[in-house]
Amino acid sequence: MYHYSLPQLFFSIVLGLALQDTLGNLFSGLALQIDKPYSIGDWIEVQSSGQKWIGEVYEISWRATILKGFTDEWLTIPNRIMAGAQISNFATKDHPIWRTLTFKLTHGQNPEKIKTILLSVLGEIPEILKTPKPLVLLSDLNESWLQFRVAYCILDYGHQFDTADSVFSTAHTRLKAAGVSIAAQRIEVLKSFSEL
């Protein structure tokens, strides 16, 4: 039977606590290597304990996963957190990524003409997939505007903002050339009967 002195016992406890995170990250890193929920170059969203990180996987080590965010920031997430997190992988080639944009336009326009213009714009943007086909829908109608929603698919999650910028810029030019204006929000102020 071994007898430990108080300093040896204290040292063992300190060493065990010090290695807890390291060993946890190591075993979690091995599990991630086996399961492969993501690979280098994939765009992923990680949600854990109310926090959310989005980025492109840059490196997977035995200790942590390093992501590169939209604004080129580096995110280092320990593998023990990754192993217990909810991970959405946007790099699956079999499931294109749908994105939607909204256009609020003035009344007095032919909705079918507007749909034709917006569909032609979507067909010209190289990053937008031809299959599944992009959609343009009249999604809302009120006293201030006609609201059109465009929906399209992309493969590269990292280029979604560039693609949206191309759609908005091209659509604005085409709609303006066709005499279609962006609607302004109107607020009507009605007098009360006592003021009349």
Same domain, 13 and 85: yes
CA–CA dist 78, 45 (Å, integer): 15
Identify the pLDDT of residue 12: 52
In a domain, 189, yes or no: no
Print burial letters for 168-189: b (CB count within 10 Å at least 16), e (below 16).
Answer: eebbeebbeeeebeebeeeeee
Structural domain boundaries enclosing 70: 6-89
Same domain, 32 and 57: yes
- pLDDT for 116-142, tens place per residue? 999 999 999 999 999 999 999 999 888
Last residue of one domain, picked from the residues 34, 66, 89: 89
In a domain, 185, yes or no: no
Q: What is the mean pLDDT of residues 157-184?
A: 92
pTM higher than the cut 0.85 = no
Q: What domain count does the chain have?
A: 2
